[in-house]
Chains A and B, each alone.
Chain A
């Protein structure tokens, strides 16, 4: 199949974006993205998390109103942020997370979302089944139409999402990370299906994170980085894998290689945290860990890189004791902790900076002093009196918050009144207190502005220099390169690469996207 590209196709582009920009507060999610997608082709859109892929997909689908620019479908301008007209123009979205109601049967779910409402609001079961039989047979789905969505295996649910999208008579299909939850065999089946749809003249835009998958399915590839289109769309035949992974991770920024040289050699460095062949169950959003080996010694920062959703959450929750390891063991300070509850692990010096400040890191409605004192509430402490002194709690909280330069008015104010950067300082003030042996920091600078970010990074470095061990999970490669003494790359629940400073961006990028496998 040959389709003219470039300027010649501009008039006939199936989808055309013109200088699309989206900002959330001070965060720029998309900046002046212009993109033409030729009809009847499979276009891959790749980029790191937070690069703007999903936001762009949402703009196309009318789920996100752009601040600037516009979207044309088949030459006609779409009103911004209008799902119905996007759908009417023949564009259908398949979302990252399943959107069909789990308690419905297949037939009911399809009827619910169908674009061709056939008459009555009262229906008979047999009639429904007759209507939807063909569509589902199309998927090669052997599932009975009366099966409930929640009882279906993941890949069938995924195919049904596509069936649902196509029932709207779509000519353009936008898939947002459809492979995240699928097994390799199911991914191949999905790709085969997409190829058939393309051959039927349907335009496909697919958001992917793995180079291998891009190579397997895409006709063209476009790369977003920090909200800007940095590559493409280019024909797959004209792009090398190296070029694409460079575009994804960005150019090296000078500082990379100079910092992060291993700490003093020869000195005694006890292992503070160790995972031995740890496996865990998969979650709704992530593959489970598969035989993960990892150790963090005193006086080092170990970085964990990887595209989000490759087991980082599972890793942190197994270390924290919030999720169970089904195999292998977790050691804290050299002794067994696999079965210890979270509270015991924290009493033994494990500290955490969770992924999501707002829900996991703080209690928004609780006063600052109570947020700050959470660590004092666990573990056994033998005291003469069961009663505590609030004045003492508040005084200690005040000291800690002042020391960490949190900006606040009174320790009794609720934590939600703080800015993002100050919330993170509050968390650090609590976690980086005496008693810390090893810190697991998950996305510690996400969403923070420049000064807050450099404050957090300084704190982590100071911690390392003071002899603590740090496991830093981040999707910011620059941050990882700057801080880590060693770097691990996660992919599909496994650690696929172990690198020492100085780091090679290409190698990291390849490992993250699975290109090196």
Chain B
């Protein structure tokens, strides 16, 4: 348990260091550090609607981040959450616009399932390439993510474009109000129950099922898992599928929640921030919940900050980057297997 506590403390220290470094950069650049930090507090917690906004942004981070946790548990690094999120949202949109006259509950259910299916498919392709041919999933999930982004751009600028829209960015038509599960704040009891339920299910899957334990063994030592008779490919595909499914679900929640329509390039970094969320959350379910709320708050602050200071929003993305960098540097490979020299000698 002390090892776990130590990891939590060291993560908190790293986040603290990131804040200090960011403050240093802001100070050198001539901004008032105090003003910026009070802006962050206001923007994430104290200002009107800030707390809601923080929760709203933490929801997609949490769902996609849990997917990353599942992938990592089985030893895979799914960083294509962004694309899986987009194709999920697009599929839900297609169902909702195509069947806009249907009964709301049924349409939303079908749309959500379509989103989960699309996210799963987007992740299973790299997953199959990985377990069948050993193709590096970091590359393939990233490339699939770019394709997903382009699919969204194509759909919102082409077939699904709202012809009456006059804005500079292309956007789809709005889905009927009756389909929505939140207002534009993005937070409602339905969504909170849904997301909380998903977190509990993921925790149960990872910690209290045989499949979850098998994933842990595969992730830590696939050779040993194979000798033990665990079907490593099946477990790997399962992890990829679940990982993509959660990102797809996040897309549906975004559409039926705060979005109501899809805009080209909406929430552009959420899929990648989610990877950092999972790492900061120490790849545990509850750690990821805490870290998602933290990064959700940061996202909310980024949007709020221009109101109180003259700081451009990218200056706070810097803080993001700093945390991501420091946490990644510290993150050790989970498959570390040093062979002792005696064994090497005996293996002659």
**A363 vs B207: C-alpha distance when bound (angstroms):** 17
Residue B28, interface by CB 8 Å: no
Partner of B224, one of A347, A363, A373: A363
Q: Are A374 and B230 in contact (CB under 8 A)?
A: yes
**A26 vs B342: C-alpha distance when bound (angstroms):** 8
Q: What residues of chain B lie closer than 8 Å to A451, measured between beta carbons?
A: none
**Which B214-267 residues sit within 8 Å CB-CB of chain A?**
214, 216-217, 220-221, 223-231
Query: Chain B interface: which size bin?
Result: 20 to 34
**A381 vs B224: C-alpha distance when bound (angstroms):** 22
**A50 vs B229: C-alpha distance when bound (angstroms):** 30
Residue B9, interface by CB 8 Å: no
**A322 vs B222: C-alpha distance when bound (angstroms):** 13
Q: What residues of chain A lie closer than 8 Å to B348, measured between beta carbons?
A: 49-50, 53-55
Interface-lining segment among B126-134, B164-172, B333-341: B333-341
Q: Are A363 and B342 in contact (CB under 8 A)?
A: no
Q: A50-B348, A390-B208 are in contact. Are A370 and B217 (CB under 8 A)?
A: yes
Q: Are B224 and A365 in contact (CB under 8 A)?
A: no
Q: Are B340 and A388 in contact (CB under 8 A)?
A: no
Q: Are B208 and A447 in contact (CB under 8 A)?
A: no
Q: What residues of chain B lie closer than 8 Å to A376, measured between beta carbons?
A: 210
CB distance from B224 to the nearest CB of A (A): 5
Residue B329, interface by CB 8 Å: no
Q: Are B216 and A24 in contact (CB under 8 A)?
A: no
Q: What residues of chain B lie closer than 8 Å to A142, measured between beta carbons?
A: none
Q: Are B337 and A346 in contact (CB under 8 A)?
A: no
CB distance from B226 to the nearest CB of A (A): 6
Q: A359-B337, A364-B221, A388-B210 are in contact. Are A24 and B227 (CB under 8 A)?
A: no
**Which A339-390 residues sit within 8 Å CB-CB of chain B?**
341-347, 352, 354, 356, 358-366, 370, 373-378, 381, 386-388, 390
Q: A50-B346, A365-B336 are in contact. Are A377 and B213 (CB under 8 A)?
A: yes
**Please, which residue of chain B has its CB at the minimum distance from the CB of A353?**
B227
Query: Chain A interface: which size bin?
Result: 35 or more
Residue B209, interface by CB 8 Å: yes
Partner of A341, one of B216, B221, B231, B340: B231
CB distance from B167 to the nearest CB of A (A): 48
**Which B177-226 residues sit within 8 Å CB-CB of chain A?**
204, 207-210, 213-214, 216-217, 220-221, 223-226
Residue A117, interface by CB 8 Å: no
Q: Are A447 and B346 in contact (CB under 8 A)?
A: yes
CB distance from A348 to the nearest CB of B (A): 10
**A321 vs B231: C-alpha distance when bound (angstroms):** 11
Q: What residues of chain A lie closer than 8 Å to B230, measured between beta carbons?
A: 343, 374, 377-378
Residue A29, interface by CB 8 Å: yes
Q: Are B221 and A366 in contact (CB under 8 A)?
A: yes
Q: Are A354 and B214 in contact (CB under 8 A)?
A: no
Q: What residues of chain A lie closer than 8 Å to B337, measured between beta carbons?
A: 358-359, 364
CB distance from B75 to the nearest CB of A (A): 11
Residue A252, interface by CB 8 Å: no
Q: Are B208 and A359 in contact (CB under 8 A)?
A: no
**A55 vs B341: C-alpha distance when bound (angstroms):** 11
Q: What residues of chain A lie closer than 8 Å to B226, measured between beta carbons?
A: 322, 342
Partner of A390, one of B207, B220, B223, B341: B207
**A358 vs B204: C-alpha distance when bound (angstroms):** 30
Residue A273, interface by CB 8 Å: no
**A373 vs B275: C-alpha distance when bound (angstroms):** 30
Q: Are A363 and B221 in contact (CB under 8 A)?
A: yes
Q: A343-B230, A388-B209 are in contact. Are A358 and B220 (CB under 8 A)?
A: no
**Which B89-130 residues sit within 8 Å CB-CB of chain A?**
none
- Identify which of B335, B339, B343, B345 gathers the most chain A CB atoms within 10 Å of its CB: B345
Q: What residues of chain B lie closer than 8 Å to A375, measured between beta carbons?
A: 228-229
Q: What residues of chain A lie closer than 8 Å to B334, measured between beta carbons?
A: 365
Q: Are B229 and A55 in contact (CB under 8 A)?
A: no
6 contacts between A and B (CB under 8 A): A24-B344, A344-B229, A359-B337, A365-B221, A370-B217, A386-B209
Interface residues of A, Cβ cutoff 8 Å to B: 22, 24-27, 29, 49-50, 53-55, 320-322, 341-347, 352, 354, 356, 358-366, 370, 373-378, 381, 386-388, 390, 446-447
4 shortest interchain CB distances as A-B pairs: A343-B229, A24-B342, A363-B221, A346-B229
Other than the given A27-B345, A365-B220, 19 more pairs (CB < 8 A) read A27-B342, A49-B348, A50-B348, A341-B231, A344-B229, A356-B347, A358-B343, A359-B339, A360-B223, A360-B227, A361-B227, A362-B224, A363-B220, A364-B220, A374-B217, A378-B229, A381-B210, A387-B209, A447-B342
